[in-house]
Amino acid sequence: MEVNRRDFLKVLSIGGAAALTGCSAQAPEKLIPYLIPVEEIIPGKATWYATVCRECPAGCGMLVRTREGRAVKVEGNPDHPVNRGRLCARGQASLQGLYNPDRIRQPLLKDASGTLKPVSWDEAEAWLISRLAELLQQGKGVGITWMTPHLTGSPDRLVNQWLKILGSTRRLRYEPFAYEPIRTANRLTFGREVIPTYDLESSTVILAFGADFLETWISPVMYAREFAAMRAYKDGRMGRFIFIGPRLSLTAANADRWISVRPGTEGVLALGLVGVIVAEGLVKGLSQDEVGRIRALVDCYDFKRVSEATGVEPEEVKRLARTFAEGDPGLALGGGTAVSGPHATTTLVAINLLNYVAGNVGRTVRFGPVSTLSQLSTYREMLDLIQAMEKGQVSALFFSEVNPVFTMPKAAGFERALGKVPLVVSCSSFMDETVAKAHLVFPTHTPLESWGDVEPWEGMHGLMQPAMQPLFETKALGDLLLSLAKRLGGPPAQAFKEESFYEYLRARWRELHQRLQSDVDFETFWVEALRRGGVFEAIPAQPVRLNVQALSQVLEEPELAGQADAFVLLPYPSLVHFDGRGADRPWLQELPDPMTQLTWDNWLEVHPEDAKRHGIEEGDLLTVKSPDGEIELPAHLYAGVRPGVVAIPIGQGHTAFGRHAEGRGANPLALLPKEPEPRSGGLPWLSPQVTLARTGKKHLLASVSGSDRQFDRGIAQVIPLAELQAYAGKEPHDEHKVLQMYPPHEHPNHRWGMAIDLNACIGCGACVTACYAENNLAVVGKEEVARGREMSWIRIERYVEGPPERPETRFVPMLCQHCDNAPCEPVCPVYATVHNPEGLNIQVYNRCVGTRYCSNNCPYKVRRFNWFTYKWPEPLNLQLNPDVTVREMGVMEKCTFCVQRITEGKERAKGEGRPVRDGDIVPACAQACPTRAIVFGDLKDPESEVSRLRQNPRRYRVFEHLNTQPAITYLKRIRPSEEA
């Protein structure tokens, strides 16, 4: 009897199905039609809405993809001038704010016992109105205070107007990172207390003093894009970048050189560079008189003294100054927590001076458009508020989406002072540490459910529109304020004509319309603004002059005082959690920190030499003690901190804020002193006095890194700049020609491929989170990550090469290579993974029986196995992409090159009666990438960008010698010339 495979499986499957269905009778599924169809929604098709990302103050434009009325994916808005279509990992994770299972779902009122109990909106508002009326009667309206994060545009104006009507002007725009030293330094040097435009793209040399501009500093997605453009290899040249600071951050890892200076001495180095530039006559565009006065200022900073103070070799100081002066133009940036100590303002004044003498002011440092972050309240103003609260001058404190209990130093005493305020009202979406202390909690819409506008830079008016109906019984902050005003009656009710915040917003946009585009009617202007995501004015730069007089008193020698045996503590904003507001997003918890490759945790970075001296080993739980407090954290040995410095990421250590955030690590703000930096009133994050002691306990750190070294496997390759220059037109090497046993695959229509430029990749991880969002990847949690069971289809491998004193960090995005000779395919006993006619290595979930042979045979280790049926706590499941199967236990999965997007792109082209064009199909990782490092396309099309990049002299394929014939070509990272 001939039993062929197909018939055998058929018989088997009927038996199997019968056995399975015998015990479960499924309820019939319902088909629910619309009562009234929504005009813009076609069931089964995506609808996109433009809005603005509110995950950090950068204000990137965003497009939200919705299906059947719910948001399933966010992407950068190509029309928005801040991010031009790109988005970071935190922006991607805004969806998990919207669908967070720990959102506050109804108003809460504190009862006599001090617990917050659910009440109705009506009750909550009525209760507040009676309290407010009481306050106003007693003449305490003047003590009403409003604290918001960085707000601009209409919401900002409404809050101020509302306050004014109640008789108060106490208003704070609180952000933990408020850039006070930059603003103050610009006032002192140029007479303008603002954050200017930094033009990274036009620079040829960038010096960054502590500024982590690829991670969290001011506008990271914008800077990443500009940085990649500046670093791109063009006409035999590429821009140079040197990072100066005590810690090797992700930004520093992308530099030609990381110069580790003594903490707090960045300013001395900057002045030393000014000294060399002046002395060697490298000054650009200054009068003799001006040069003379500057020379007098920096005379005492000769390079020998500078070298002693900073720990940088004297020759290096000279070389650095010359390199910078060669810049045409150059750009010096300063900031971040490394430049926030007691002499932060001095340091930034020194950096201003450096930019000035090198002729960069007006070219790469432009005062217009300026950042609206310039309007933030300073840390000192927050301390004043605390004092007022202590003295009982604050009769009521309203706040929205700020968490000072967590983000201010414990020593500042915000939490204690909050107890003295008789009425604390929160308008937030999440139960964080500060909200938990409120008397009344109004749950607000998340940004994806809200109307609004955001102006990150002067003249850039981003417009926010709700991408979907509110998920819970929440209200927009604006609507709440208007409703409260109506209920108060009298003058407050009369002050606002508008019934809703939507109308209020439109009224302000009518003013914009009048000013900018009065030649079209308002509705056209409005609809176009909604479609484009806003209106964007060009604001010209204003000329500034250096105020040499004012500087002489500022520039004294910065020094960081501390005990001899103590470590300098450097807390730094985490790339994934920022100031802690990302900690409740499971995607971000599972995204490895790029430098340490650790997940779901918080740690203390200590240099291996220091660790050896103190007998500290990886994972030892330490007591970290400062004069202001102590915390316990596990040690992570990291050669990227300067000996004598310890670093802790900010963002973890929540005691509230939901299931994903709570109880992970400790908050370094417990260690910081209260006193502000005297000149700017900013918070000195860099704190000189901490001691470490072992507790004797061990802590499990969940790392995704197998090894820091690549052991000559050539996974992440580099090419020296000189070698690349020598090619100029010649072919560098031949592709491996290997004899084949089998005929090659035929790809009749398309052959999908990818090119990844390692010179552009900065290792930020935006692609990783974008992939989680697009492809329904499960979050497995810390314990499973520690077992190596994370589900990421694309990961950023981080390797360190070179000697410890000059580490070279290499990032390489690793994903399924879609090999022609895929080692996974022949070992699958059930043909669950096969090569398709378009060159994809596909995985058929319903065929897979979970032998894991494929994963075992994959040299790239990019296949992921479902050890469990993972859960999405409701309502996180509403984010799942309906175009992608949700996998169950026992099934293997891996990158599909976003096959659902390929299908969609092909169908769209077919519907329009044309062939697929280059750029029609963009996988989620390539779409998100802030630096355009990933390019996808058809290799059968010789004109496509990916085909062109495959001919680039920097090309290589990982493990070429295995003859797997991957569809992914990497372009080598360019190693800049030795002297820098």
Cα separation, 905 vs 901, whole angstroms: 6
Cα–Cα distance between 117 and 526 in angstroms, integer? 41
| Cα(665)–Cα(657) distance, integer angstroms | 14
| Distance (Å, whole) CA 21 – CA 845 | 20
Q: Single out the residue of 4, 5, 35, 663 in contact with other proteins (rule: CB under 8 A).
A: 35
Helices (H), 109-205: 121-137, 153-165, 180-190
Applying CB under 8 A, does 9 fall inside the site for other proteins? no
Instruction: List the one residue out of 722, 748, 701 whose CA is nearest residue 603.
Output: 701
Give least dist CB 23 to other proteins, A: 9
For residue 37, whether the previous peptide bond is cis, meaning omega lies within 30 degrees of 0, is no
Of 21 and 623, the one with the shorter C-beta distance to other proteins is: 21
Q: Given the rule CB under 8 A, which of 34-42, 438-446, 570-578, 678-686 is the region that contacts other proteins?
A: 34-42
Task: Return the residue of 4, 5, 31, 565 that touches other proteins, per CB under 8 A.
Answer: 31
Q: Which of residues 155-194 bind other proteins (CB under 8 A)?
A: none
741 contacts other proteins (rule: CB under 8 A): no
User: Which one of residues 129, 229, 279, 842 is an interface residue with other proteins (CB under 8 A)?
Assistant: 842
> Which region, judged by CB under 8 A, interacts with other proteins, from 13-21, 230-238, 462-470, 961-969?
13-21
| Minimal distance, residue 793 CB to other proteins, in Å | 13
CB of 337 or CB of 896, closer to other proteins: 896
538 counts as binding other proteins under rule CB under 8 A: no
Provide the CA 228 distance to its chain's centre, in angstroms.
16
DSSP string, 275-333: HHHHHTT---S--HHHHHHHHHHHTT--HHHHHHHH---HHHHHHHHHHHHH-TTEEEE
- What x-and-dash track marks residues 867-896 binding other proteins by CB under 8 A? ----------------xxxx---------x
Nearest distance from C-beta of residue 8 to other proteins, angstroms: 8
Residue 298 phi, psi dihedral angles, 5° rounding: -105, 5
Cβ 885 to other proteins shortest distance, Å: 5
Among 5, 30, 737, 961, binds other proteins (CB under 8 A): 30
Question: Binding to other proteins by residue 29, rule CB under 8 A?
Answer: yes
Closest approach of other proteins to the CB of residue 322, in Å: 56
CB of 358 to other proteins, least distance (A): 54
Q: Does 560 bind other proteins (CB under 8 A)?
A: no
If residue 425 lies in a helix (H) or strand (E), which one and from where to where? strand 424-428
Contact 966, 839 (CB under 8 A): no
Asked if residue 329 has a cis previous peptide bond (ω within 30° of 0), the answer is yes
Report the site for other proteins in 38-77 (rule: CB under 8 A): 42-45
* Minimum separation from the CB atom of position 795 to other proteins (A): 21
Which residue's CB is nearer to other proteins, number 8 or number 117?
A: 8
Residue 32 as a binder of other proteins (CB under 8 A): the answer is yes
Q: How far is residue 815 CA from its own chain's centroid?
A: 21
Torsion angle in degrees (nearest 10) through CA of 954, 959, 961, 967: -70
Nearest-CA neighbor of 367 among 207, 205, 219, 199? 199
Binding mask of the shown chain, residues 190 to 229, with x at each position contacting other proteins by CB under 8 A = ----------------------------------------
Residue closer to other proteins (CB basis): 583 or 898: 898
Range 895-924, binding other proteins (CB under 8 A): 896, 899-900, 903, 907, 910-911
Interacting stretch for other proteins, rule CB under 8 A, among 9-17, 226-234, 417-425, 447-455? 9-17
Q: How far is the CB of 904 from other proteins (least distance, A)?
A: 10
C-beta of residue 664 within 8 angstroms of C-beta of residue 652 = yes
Stretch that binds other proteins, among 37-45, 333-341, 540-548, 922-930 (CB under 8 A): 37-45
Stretch that binds other proteins, among 30-38, 240-248, 575-583, 654-662 (CB under 8 A): 30-38
Chain Cα centroid distance, residue 245: 21
Q: By C-beta, is 44 or 743 nearer to other proteins? A: 44
Rule CB under 8 A: say whether 846 interacts with other proteins: yes
Site membership for other proteins, residue 34 (CB under 8 A): yes
Task: Assess 829 for contact with other proteins (CB under 8 A).
Answer: no
Q: Which is nearer to other proteins, 44 or 744 (CB)?
A: 44
Q: Which CB sits closer to other proteins, 6 or 497?
A: 6
Q: Report the sign of the C-alpha dihedral through residues 831, 835, 838, 840, in that order.
A: positive
Cβ–Cβ contacts within 10 Å for residue 710, how many? 17
DSSP 828: -
Nearest to 759 by CA among 231, 235, 237, 234: 231
* Residue 72: CB minimum distance to other proteins, A: 15
Phi and psi of 856, rounded to 5°?
Answer: -60, -35
Q: Segment near other proteins (CB under 8 A), from 32-40, 328-336, 421-429, 622-630?
A: 32-40
The tokens for 136 are 């106003």
Nearer CB in complex with other proteins: 539/884: 884
Cβ-contact 126, 968 below 8 angstroms:
no
Pair type for strands 424-428 and 396-399: parallel
Which of these ranges, 28-36, 92-100, 365-373, 717-725, lies near other proteins under the rule CB under 8 A? 28-36
518 makes contact with other proteins (CB under 8 A): no
Minimum CB distance to other proteins smaller for 25 or for 538: 25
Cα distance between residue 807 and residue 709, in whole Å: 11
Per CB under 8 A, 844 contacts other proteins: yes
Stretch that binds other proteins, among 31-39, 227-235, 356-364, 499-507 (CB under 8 A): 31-39
* Torsion 866-868-869-872 (CA) sign: negative
Q: Does 776 bind other proteins (CB under 8 A)?
A: no
Q: Could you tell me the maximum CA-CA distance found in the chain, to the nearest angstrom?
A: 104
DSSP symbol at 234 = B
CB-nearer residue toward other proteins: 21 or 655 = 21
Question: Is 836 near other proteins (CB under 8 A)?
Answer: yes
The span from the CA of 965 to the CA of 99, in Å, is 41
Name the DSSP class of 876. Answer: G
Q: Which of 569, 607, 566, 593 is closest to 664 using CA atoms?
A: 593
CB 587 within 8 A of CB 779: yes
Binding segment for other proteins (CB under 8 A), chosen from 26-34, 265-273, 444-452, 487-495, is 26-34
Q: What is the separation of C-alpha 836 from the centre of its chain, rounded to a whole number of angstroms?
A: 36
* Among the residue ranges 23-31, 79-87, 435-443, 813-821, the one whose residues contact other proteins (CB under 8 A): 23-31
Question: Does residue 693 sit in helix, strand or coil?
Answer: strand
Interface stretch with other proteins, choices 29-37, 147-155, 301-309, 379-387 (CB under 8 A): 29-37
**Which residue from 22, 615, 696, 803 is in contact with other proteins, where contact means CB under 8 A?**
22
User: What is the DSSP pairing of strand 795-801 with strand 808-814?
Assistant: antiparallel
Between CA 969 and CA 947 the distance in angstroms is 10
Q: What is the DSSP string of 438-463?
A: -SEEEEB--GGG--EEE-SBTTEEEE
| Binds other proteins by CB under 8 A, chosen from 48, 127, 472, 845 | 845
Spatial separation of the C-alpha atoms in residues 417 and 674, rounded to whole Å: 14
Number of residues this chain uses to bind other proteins (CB under 8 A): 47
- Residues forming the site for other proteins (CB under 8 A): 1, 3, 11-12, 14-15, 17-19, 21-22, 25-26, 28-37, 42-45, 834, 836-838, 840, 842, 844-846, 883-886, 896, 899-900, 903, 907, 910-911
